[in-house]
Chains A and B, each alone.
Chain A
Amino acid sequence: MSTLNMDLSNYRDLLKQYIRTQDETALYQAEQFSKLSMQQNISPEEIINVHIQALQELYPELPEGIKSSMNFLLEAMISYGLAYQEFQSLREQQLALKSEISVAASMQQTLLTTVKPEVEGLDIGAISIPANQMNGDYHHFVQNDDNKLGIAIADVIGKGIPAALAMSMIKYSMDSIPENRMDPSNILESLNRVVERNVDPSMFITMFYGLYDPSNEKFYYSSAGHEPGFYYNAAEDKFEEIEARGVVLGVTRDTEYRQYERKVNAGDMIIMLTDGVTECRQGDRFIEPEEVLDVIKSYMHLPAQKLVEQVYKHFERLQDFHLRDDFTLIILRKEV
């Protein structure tokens, strides 16, 4: 109460000064008064009330009509005051929500951590950046005892928290697949059953699974409706799309996935990605797939990790540093 009274005498003096001098200093102090009032959660109708009281002290003979008009104004400001209070409380709730999500995001990061393995004869680069706080893309490396390298890359249709929850499920299902069943087609078939049983029918997950066997230098792979990757043929200096057919995970229980294989020669690259890479936008325009390849090509002389980082930086900048979709890019290069 005492602070408000102090403000009233303060306000009255300021008002007096302004009426006398029309001075900018008084207006500047009025601005400070208004900010201070907001800090102390004083609503607009209270300020008008302070104004009315100051006015009456300055002009005891204030015409009745003016007095009534001020009361009218006070009444008209009540709803603004309420809206302001509501806004304050919503803002507090939003802050609480944000911090809750950031805890969840860091938990997700811990859950989905994957270590980029060292495989003799392979140079590996991987990057995955979420558009929002939580990542709906997923990639995972699995190194078996017999030195084979498994690479999973997946994308939930949709993003944010629901996508992230679905991804955590995929990760744990993969962990529980026995090591002797790590063929790409097998993995997709078991994950398909998990997704079909546990995920809402409106949510789809696409996935590409590749397995590199250093003993015969072959790459085995299957796809569940995932964004096609690219294969770089070093001998011909040409990129080609990695063709692999298969429906997205979770549509029907007994989907079978075809497994493909190809020999990997020295200098060849296998490029796996999510649609956050190929559907980058410059303004309103979607980029062409060739643009991705051109960018990869321009950084191809770099080690694989540097290469994927540079490609990311390129598209981050192209989109004004604001990703619209989660971005995941993995490149494997067979060393010479």
Chain B
Amino acid sequence: MDFQSCVNINKEWDIVGARQIGRDFARKIGFGTVDQARIATAISELARNIYLYAGTGKICFETIEEIDRKGLVILAVDDGPGIAEISKVMEDGYSTSGGLGAGLPGVKRLMDEFDIISEQEKGTEIKAVKWVR
């Protein structure tokens, strides 16, 4: 997939930039206020994960259009340490950052589709999709 727009995440401030671009995409696609806020929160979580655990990475956005629906794809890519036990980080109540923040289960709840590919020492790629209702 050729992404329309990417934001590099190097410092905490970049999280805000990613939210802003994601929200603009969401608004243009036609998401309502609540879904815009949910998408922004999901982007925050993904960007913060990159910032905290990988150091650097990027968040990319892409509009998808099918015959009967429209949606937004968010892709979070880093080449950090990777996730050893994905099923563990997807458990509710499990968080390495001290229980604050929604974590990846939160992102999954905020979005409609969610997928992780991660390899230790190589990096992580998370893809999340939300459809306009």
Q: Measuring CB to CB, which residues of chain A are less than 8 angstroms from any residue of chain B?
A: 1, 45-46, 49, 52, 71, 74-75, 78-79, 82-83, 85-86, 89-90, 93
Q: Are A86 and B93 in contact (CB under 8 A)?
A: yes
Q: Are A74 and B34 in contact (CB under 8 A)?
A: yes
Dominant SS among interface residues on chain B: helix
Instruction: Please report the number of residue pairs spanning A and B whose Cβ atoms sit closer than 8 angstroms.
Output: 40
Which chain B residue lies CB-closest to A79? B102
Q: Are A74 and B109 in contact (CB under 8 A)?
A: no
Q: Are B34 and A45 in contact (CB under 8 A)?
A: yes
Q: Are A71 and B34 in contact (CB under 8 A)?
A: no
Q: Sample 10 A-B pairs with CB under 8 A, ordered by A number.
A: A45-B37, A45-B38, A49-B32, A52-B33, A82-B106, A82-B109, A82-B110, A83-B102, A86-B105, A86-B109
CA A90 to CA B91, docked complex, whole Å? 10
CA A1 to CA B32, docked complex, whole Å? 14
Q: Are A86 and B92 in contact (CB under 8 A)?
A: yes
Q: Measuring CB to CB, which residues of chain B are less than 8 angstroms from any residue of chain A?
A: 32-34, 37-38, 40-41, 92-93, 101-102, 105-106, 109-110, 133
Q: Are A78 and B33 in contact (CB under 8 A)?
A: no
Which chain B residue lies CB-closest to A83? B102
Residues of B within 8 A of A45 (CB): 34, 37-38
Residues of A within 8 A of B93 (CB): 86, 90
Which chain A residue lies CB-closest to B32? A49
CB distance from B128 to the nearest CB of A (A): 14
Q: Are A71 and B33 in contact (CB under 8 A)?
A: yes
Residues of B within 8 A of A49 (CB): 32-34
Most interface-central of A1, A78, A93 (chain B CB within 10 A):
A78
CB distance from A59 to the nearest CB of B (A): 17
CA A82 to CA B37, docked complex, whole Å? 12
Residues of B within 8 A of A79 (CB): 41, 101-102
Residues of A within 8 A of B33 (CB): 49, 52, 71, 74
Q: Which 10 pairs, one residue from A and one from B, show the smallest C-beta to C-beta distance?
A: A82-B102, A82-B106, A78-B41, A49-B34, A75-B37, A86-B92, A89-B92, A90-B92, A78-B37, A45-B34
Residues of A within 8 A of B32 (CB): 49
CA A83 to CA B95, docked complex, whole Å? 13
CA A113 to CA B32, docked complex, whole Å? 62
6 further A-B contacts with Cβ under 8 Å, apart from A49-B32, A78-B110, A82-B106, are A1-B133, A46-B34, A49-B34, A75-B40, A85-B109, A86-B93
Which chain A residue lies CB-closest to B41? A78
CB distance from A97 to the nearest CB of B (A): 12
Partner of A93, one of B38, B92, B106: B92
Residues of B within 8 A of A89 (CB): 92
CA A71 to CA B23, docked complex, whole Å? 13
CA A79 to CA B106, docked complex, whole Å? 9
CB distance from B66 to the nearest CB of A (A): 20
CA A46 to CA B34, docked complex, whole Å? 7
CA A45 to CA B34, docked complex, whole Å? 7
CB distance from B78 to the nearest CB of A (A): 23
Residues of A within 8 A of B102 (CB): 79, 82-83, 86
